[in-house]
Amino acid sequence: MILHTNDPIGRMLRTERGEMRYFSGTSYLALPSHAGFRQLLAEGMERHGNNFGGSRTANLRLAVYEAAEQFWQQHMGAEHAILLSSGFMAGQLAAWWLRQQVHKHPETVVSYAPRTHQALWSGLETRQDGSFGQWLEAMVAKVQREQNRPYMLVCNALDSVKAELYDFSPLADLPEGAQVTLIADDSHGIGITGEAGKGIFSTLQRFAQVQPVVVASLAKACGLAAGLILTNTHYGRLLSHNAFFAGASPCAPACAYAMLHAAPIWEAQRLQLAENVELAAEKLHPFGIFKFTEGYPVFYTDVQGLYEFLLERGILISAFPYPDINGPTVTRVVVHAAHTPADIDFLARAVENFLSQK
């Protein structure tokens, strides 16, 4: 069933089925309804307007974009940061660049991990079965056998659908001198996973033989309609000095302004989310029907009928085919920073009632 709302996304939403407790979506830090965060966007709108109608490479440039990119470089410990209008655009810029690299260096080995997000599809992806761990170990072994070829590995930073944080430690076994570029989509991690919510980038930097290119949507945890690429100086220049980047409209300047001032809000919301996830895990784990990873706000289940049961009791969880719109329904409970202990307790009691009737 498709429901509609005109409310900012928060813990409660008004729909045609009445008011619902909302345990879905990807606004993990609950920023669309956060008054302080919305004020930052309003200030950005007042200072810089609602739109920048020009190319980022034009002879007139809005300084707030470069300031925001410098913020991300310092905040994430990256040599280079690039802002775009969306995470999908960031992924497609990386995919375009991948195609260009392969055209220049046809000996390059390109491999996509299973279930890599469509934003990174380049036309060079092939179907991969098995798990992420199996794929990564196989690729490390291949590099060990054929060290004299460049490799472009493409993957998600985690599986947000089934709440699995990926283990990148096999990259430590890459031989010295290996030429490995790893392009990773961290849209569902940045803001909530990794050290202080900084996602996967710092983890990938620890592997001496890997050149990371991390792309992310900031429209999820970070609450901003923008995309981000983090990488080294050399790759950053290649990515941003081309027609693809020049022809793309930037994100709204209000979003760039908010980035410069939102870090304290992000951190406070991240800590609140951690408390909520811990409580939800304590309440939901005993039921034995949810798959989840400690600290991550998604609780996946393949039990049928839960969505309909909860909907009748004023709880809206995630239930729709994804990423294949023609595939099976994926059912998940998503915890947000705005949820109260009473919300989580209400959810747990409803799940308990559902299971008692099976």
The third-level CATH classification (topology) of the domain covering 52-251 is: Aspartate Aminotransferase; domain 2 (3.40.640)
pLDDT at 61: 85
> 224 near 27, Cβ under 8 Å?
no
CA-based R_g, the chain, Å = 21
* Helix, strand and coil in the chain, % to nearest 5: 40, 20, 40
CATH superfamily of 12-34+264-356: Aspartate Aminotransferase, domain 1 (3.90.1150.10)
Phi, psi of 262 (to 5 degrees): -90, -10
Give me the sign of the Cα torsion angle 76, 149, 158, 222. positive
> Tell me: the pLDDT tens digits for 223-237?
999 999 999 999 999
Task: Indicate the domain borders of the chain.
Answer: 12-34+264-356, 52-251
**Quick one: angle between helices 263-284 and 35-48, nearest 10?**
150
- Structure token pair of residue 52: 């920048």
**What does DSSP assign to residue 291?**
B
pLDDT (0 to 100) of residue 313:
96
Given this model, what pLDDT does residue 143 score? 97
Please name the residues in contact with 268: beta carbons below 8 A apart, sequence gap of 6 or more.
none
| One-letter identity of residue 229 | I
What pLDDT shows up at residue 57? 84
The angle formed by the CA atoms of residues 285, 291 and 331, to the nearest 5 degrees, is 110
C-alpha 144 chain-centroid distance = 30
**Per-residue confidence (pLDDT) for residue 94, from 0 to 100:** 97
Residue 267: other Cβ atoms inside 10 A: 14
Helix (H) or strand (E) holding 123: none
- Which tokens is 186 given? 């961290």
* pLDDT (0 to 100) of residue 58: 82
Whether the CB-CB separation of 7 and 338 falls below 8 Å is answered with no
| 122-160 burial code (b ≥16 CB/10 A, e <16) | beebeebeeebbebbeebbeebeeeeeeebbbbbbbbbb
Q: Which pLDDT belongs to residue 329?
A: 87
Give the pLDDT score at 268: 98
- Taking 70 as the pLDDT cut, the residues of the chain under it are none
Q: Name 165's Cβ contacts closer than 8 Å, sequence gap at least 6.
A: 158, 189, 193, 293, 296
Q: Which of 257, 238, 217 is nearest to 79 (CA)?
A: 238
User: If you write DSSP's letter for every residue of 57-119 in order, what string do you get?
Assistant: TSSS--HHHHHHHHHHHHHHT-SEEEEES-HHHHHHHHHHHHHHHHHH-TT-EEEEPTT--GG
Looking at residue 202, its pLDDT comes to 94
Quick one: angle between helices 263-284 and 341-356, nearest 10?
30
